[in-house]
Amino acid sequence: MDPVLIPIVVAAIVVVFLLAATVRIVPQARRYNIERFGRYRRTLQPGLNFVVPVADRINTKLDVREQVYSSAPKPVITEDNLVVNIDTVLYYQITDPRAAAYEVADYLQAIDQLTVTTLRNVIGSMDLEQTLTSREEINARLRAVLDDATGKWGIRVNRVEIKAIDPPVTIKEAMEKQMRAERDKRAAILHAEGERQAKILTAEGTKQKDILEAQGTQQAMILRADGEAKAVERVFQAVHRNNADPKVLAYKYLETLPHLAKSDNNTFWVIPGELTEAVRAVTHAFADHSTTGLPGNTRPPEAAPPPGSDEAPNEEQTPEIEAGTPLSLDAAAAADAVAEQAAAVVSDAKAEAARASQAPDRSRTSGD
């Protein structure tokens, strides 16, 4: 190589190196602190910047975007002497690159220690219950203290959040038991309220049902009573309108006696005192057609004694059997005989009534 070219090449290389050392390109959201001969000179802004080669050098490169710093769990003692571990999350931003580089040696460590100290002061005045339920208050107090301390460091704390509060294991178990007991209590209260409402509704339904049934029974009894009253009224009207005589009443009276004797539930039955009078009335009613008297008796009917004689029948001497008094064998046989005689009299009366009803038809037919 030509010896003349060697110095030219070296000079060119030095010029290129000096030009490269003179130009500095700073990215967006970055700040470079420049020192000249060891003394702070200026802070380079984003874009193309020129510096003095060899004399100027870049001391620190800082990111001015908002940063997130998560600290490790720190033990803190509460007012009721319980140790809890608290994790915090810090959101900060560098506002003055010079102060962040020259006012504090390590701003992250300084912020972390300041956060722990402030937490211990704040949590130390609260019990565990307040600590768990007062996160907003703790965050506000932390931010106020950190803003006041980090302002001179060229750092602005935008937000401080408590990420987790971990009480001891025994306290966790006690809290879980308390929470379970509260939920069981709430469930029992809700269950009791449900049963109470169900019983009230059931009672209301039963009440309405009883009221409706009582009203229905009342209306049915009223209608039944009205029907029976109308039936009785019609029977009496028919009796009075047809002018029924004692013969018909006596006949109906004797007609019901066999039905009383046929009942299966009667261990004994009572013969009313008016039975002989009814038999005598029926016999007297049909005396002109019957000459044999009662069935089974072949003697002619005796003439009735005069009313003033001693042989006149006395109603007070008519034998009566009181209700509820058991009959002897002779009395039962006599009662059966009387029932048979009454049935025979009823049969004869029916036959005589049938012949009497046929006689007018025949006379009307012969007249025609």
pLDDT in tens, 180-211: 899 999 999 999 999 999 999 999 999 999 99
Q: What are the start-end ranges of the H helices in 49-168?
A: 97-102, 107-123, 128-133, 135-150
User: How would you classify the pairing of strands 74-77 and 83-94?
Assistant: antiparallel
Model pLDDT, residue 97: 92
Q: How crowded is residue 39: how many other Cβ atoms within 10 Å of its Cβ?
A: 7
Highest mean pLDDT among 2-11, 50-59, 265-274: 50-59
Average pLDDT, the chain: 76
Weakest-pLDDT range from 131-135, 247-251, 288-292: 288-292
pLDDT of residue 300: 42
* Structure-model confidence comparison of residues 208 and 258, the more confident one: 208
The pLDDT of 354-365, averaged and rounded, is 56
| Residue corresponding to tokens 């306290």 | 171
Compare 360 and 317 and report the one with higher pLDDT: 360
Q: What does the alpha-carbon distance between residue 80 and residue 125 come to, in Å, rounded to a whole number? A: 9
Which of 141-150, 279-288, 302-311, 312-321 is the most confident on average? 141-150
pLDDT (0 to 100) of residue 259:
64
Residue 291 confidence class, pLDDT cut points 50, 70, 90: very low
- Which position has the higher pLDDT, 163 or 337? 163
Letter string b/e over residues 210-220, b meaning 16 or more CB atoms within 10 A of that residue's CB: eeeeeeeeeee
| Burial (Cβ within 10 Å: 0-12, 13-18, ≥19) of residue 21 | middle
Statement: residue 145 has pLDDT above 80? yes
- Over the range 251-261, which residues count as b (16 or more CB within 10 Å of their CB) and which as e? bebbeebeeee
Higher pLDDT, 298 or 34: 34
Residues 74-96 have a mean pLDDT of 88
Average pLDDT over residues 144-152: 86
